[in-house]
Amino acid sequence: MCTSPFPFPRKPRATPYEIFHLPPGSPPSAIKSRYYELVRVHHPDSPRARTLPPRIAHARFQAITAAYDILTGKSNSRFTSSEYAAVHRYGNSSYGHRMRHGSEWAHTGFRSRAASVEDGVSDRVIMAIGAITLAFGFAPFLYASPQSIVEERHRAARRNLTQARSEAREYGEERLREARRRVRQRQRENEYATRIKDDG
């Protein structure tokens, strides 16, 4: 087995710069080129990484990727030095336990801390939108007391009754005018018939 020019640090609390074998404040171009070199050496499918147990090779590669994300600013530094130590130690830590027993955690819906950072923001946004929607949905019921609902029904009934009385009055007056007109017409017909008899 040939020795790697960039061995994975054995230090339990290695920083991203120590993983990359670069001094702090290195330019982005140096970080990027070192990332490519580290991936070639430490990728789980590379010939050098195949000599390691798969879980360790995978954990190292994840640590390199997380360190690159931190150094390039793609990720906030939520992956703390203690989590780096857990990846390196791979001993009694919960991270090591999850890596060794990943299939046991799969059914529980476990996701790593890095995945939950982005999900936490979207979850909070969804919860806020849901709360606002509920508030607007229940607001009419909170401001409308049973008394006001009864009063509104009473006002509507009063308007309907007033309108019905008005329509009945108009209809009654129209029928009365029609009846008077018929009575006058009959009286004229009777007067006319009486005159014809008297003349004839």
pLDDT at 51: 87
pLDDT at 167: 93
pLDDT tens per residue across span 41-89: 888 888 888 888 889 888 889 989 999 999 988 876 544 444 444 444 4
Picking from 30, 29, 34, 44, the residue whose alpha carbon sits closest to that of residue 5 is 34
Count of H-run helices and E-run strands, the chain: 8, 0
CB 1 within 8 A of CB 48: yes
pLDDT at 123: 83
pLDDT at 91: 40
Q: Which amino acid is at 120?
A: G
pLDDT at 29: 92
Query: Three-class SS of residue 9?
Result: coil
CB 41 within 8 A of CB 48: yes
pTM: 0.39
CB-count exposure of residue 88 (10 Å: 0-12, 13-18, 19+): buried
pLDDT at 31: 92
**Which residues of the chain are under the pLDDT cut of 70?**
1-3, 76-121, 200
